[in-house]
Amino acid sequence: MDYLIKHIMQSEDQHRFTLEFKDRTLEKQFTNEVYKQDMIMARTIFILLLILASLVGVSQAILYHAGRVQLTGFITSVGLLGFGAVQNFIHLRLTYTYKRAAELYPPIQTFVMMIVGLEITMIVNSEASEMEGFGGIVAICTSLSIMFHKEFEYFLCMMLVVVYFIARSFTWFTDKMRYGRFIIIIILIFFFLHIVKRSYSRQSRQKFLSKQKQERLVQLFQNLIKLYHD
């Protein structure tokens, strides 16, 4: 009985930056709780990725026939799309067997999708006049962001993406003013994803705590009834 009371009153304090529970047992219970939800989200993201890849592939074919994209650019774009879809499928399958693969799914897929999106955009728009298809990548990365449960991993992943974008797009833009605006947009996207991810993480953790409290109280009352009945 004393154990149950202590269990109900266990620390629910969270780290300010990471939002992780200071109680490691509670944090482990939370990650186990959201694992199934993450798997459903991962499958949904894979389907969305296939749809987006198909649309972009058709768009690339149209642009190629219209003469806006060279043959090498068309082949490279299709290759990047294929690589993105295949590696996502392989990673998704690994998440069913290895929990660590599931934990690494959001950072790896966010990094790959953002990089593939930028590379295809640069191929299609050689003069950086448009950002065709990039919005779809950002939408998928928004979904991926809510799967992050470790704030540090998310922050590190997005910092790597921003650094890559800054370095990779430097020679893409001939107009440095437009280059500056592009970098500002990327940074704003980073903060937007961060706000969405942090808000969702806070809500999911609060729901988990509420559920835990209810289960503990039910268990306590059941044991009290059993104790006094005996």
Domain that residue 117 falls in:
23-229
Lowest-pLDDT range, 7-11, 98-102, 176-180, 198-202? 7-11
Element (H, E) at 188: helix 176-229
Lowest-pLDDT range, 15-24, 29-38, 195-204? 15-24
Instruction: Give the chain's radius of gyration (CA, Å).
Output: 23
What percent of the chain has pLDDT above 90? 4
In this predicted model, which residue has the larger pLDDT, 165 or 23?
A: 165
Q: What is the pTM of this model?
A: 0.75
In this predicted model, which residue has the larger pLDDT, 6 or 40?
A: 40
- Tell me which amino acid residue 221 is: F
Largest CA distance in the chain: 85
Q: What average pLDDT does range 131-144 have in this prediction?
A: 66
Q: Which ranges constitute the DSSP H helices of 96-150?
A: 99-124, 134-145
Residue 8 lies in a domain: no
Residue 89 lies in a domain: yes
Instruction: Please say whether the beta carbons of 133 and 15 come within 8 A.
Output: no
Residue 3 lies in a domain: no
Q: What average pLDDT does range 130-146 have in this prediction?
A: 66
Q: Can you read off the two tokens belonging to residue 96?
A: 């069913």
> How many CB atoms lie under 10 A from the CB of residue 30?
19
Instruction: Please say whether the beta carbons of 10 and 18 come within 8 A.
Output: no
Q: What average pLDDT does range 200-219 have in this prediction?
A: 78
Confidence band of 217 (pLDDT split at 50, 70, 90): confident
| Number of domains the chain is built from | 1
In this predicted model, which residue has the larger pLDDT, 86 or 25?
A: 86
Range with the largest mean pLDDT of 25-34, 81-90, 216-225: 81-90
Confidence band of 191 (pLDDT split at 50, 70, 90): confident
Q: What is the pLDDT of residue 172?
A: 80
Q: What is the pLDDT of residue 1?
A: 47
Question: Dihedrals φ, ψ of 9, to 5°?
Answer: -90, 10
Residue 96 lies in a domain: yes
In this predicted model, which residue has the larger pLDDT, 179 or 149?
A: 179
Residue 9 lies in a domain: no
In this predicted model, which residue has the larger pLDDT, 57 or 17?
A: 57
Q: What average pLDDT does range 200-221 have in this prediction?
A: 77
User: Is 40 in a helix, a strand, or coil?
Assistant: helix
Residue 39 lies in a domain: yes
Inform me whether the pLDDT recorded for 128 exceeds 60.
no
Nearest partner of 146 among 222, 199, 82, judged by Cα: 199
Residue 6 lies in a domain: no
Confidence band of 48 (pLDDT split at 50, 70, 90): confident
What's the gap between Cα 176 and its chain centre? 30
Residue 224 lies in a domain: yes
Q: What average pLDDT does range 47-62 have in this prediction?
A: 84
